[in-house]
Amino acid sequence: MNKIPVFLLLILCISSCKTPEARKPESVSTGSFINESADRNKKLFSLEQDQIEAYITNQEEKLFIPSELGFWFSKDTIQQDSTLKTPNFGDLISYEHYIADLNGQIIYTREELKARDYAMDKQELFTGLREGLKLMKAGETYTFIFPSQKAYGYYGDENKIGANLPIVTQVTVNSITTN
């Protein structure tokens, strides 16, 4: 009878020394959502590029220059004064602009948007306009074409500008106050 408890104790000791096994995952993620999202964005980018190229082709009176930052611009009024500088971080820029779609329909007029003051890189402003203002001097007027990812992106402005809408905006910098 003494042998049975010893035997059970020996089996219990041997079985408890087993190393734990890793559990297998219940489901395996393949990253398909990310791949599908990337494919959608590539198609959207290609479609917008085609629309923008068609718009530029129809604008015979303006010469649009592609920027390294992913948008196009036309220098409508250039400041010849070489002493004027482009804005730096913290400079206060007073500007006016309007926003239209690629069909030429005005979304926001200059009167609706009014003259605005912007502290360079210290305030919120959509990416394309923030980068475009850095190219300009006081007294200049540029026309910018922003693809949706440089404008209001996936959400639009939740008012008049829809989702994934490329825009055209003409901007006039009235003054630049150095900070």
What pLDDT is recorded for position 9? 74
Supply the pLDDT for residue 30.
64
In whole angstroms, what separates CA 127 from the centre of its chain? 6
Q: Is residue 35 part of a domain?
A: no
Query: Over 70: is that where the pLDDT of 29 sits?
Result: no
Residue 45, domain member (yes or no) = no
> What pLDDT is recorded for position 1?
60
In 3-state terms the chain splits into helix, strand, coil percentages (rounded to 5) of: 30, 25, 45
What band does 8 get if pLDDT is binned at 50, 70 and 90?
confident
Q: How many of the other CB atoms lie within 10 Å of CB of 113? A: 15
Whether residue 20 is predicted with pLDDT greater than 90 in this model: the reply is no
Identify the CATH number of the domain in which residue 176 sits: 3.10.50.40
Tell me the residue range of the domain where 131 lies: 85-179
Predicted confidence at residue 82, as pLDDT, reads 82
In a domain, 16, yes or no: no
Residue 162 in any domain: the answer is: yes
**Residue 18's pLDDT is what?**
61
pLDDT score of 66: 95
Task: Determine the average pLDDT of the residues in 155-172.
Answer: 92
Q: Is the Cβ–Cβ distance between 120 and 87 less than 8 Å?
A: yes
Count of structural domains, the chain: 1
Q: Is residue 70 part of a domain?
A: no
Mean pLDDT of all residues in the chain? Answer: 89
* For residue 15, pLDDT beyond 70: no
pLDDT at 16 over 70: no
Is 25 within a domain? no
DSSP per-residue string spanning 99-135: EE-TTS-EEE-HHHH--EEEETTTS---HHHHHHHTT
Please tell me the predicted confidence (pLDDT) of residue 119. Answer: 94
Residue 129 confidence class, pLDDT cut points 50, 70, 90: very high
Rounded percentage of the chain residues whose pLDDT exceeds 90? 63
Is 21 contained in some domain? no
**58-108 pLDDT tens trace:** 998 899 999 999 999 999 998 888 888 999 999 999 999 999 999 999 999
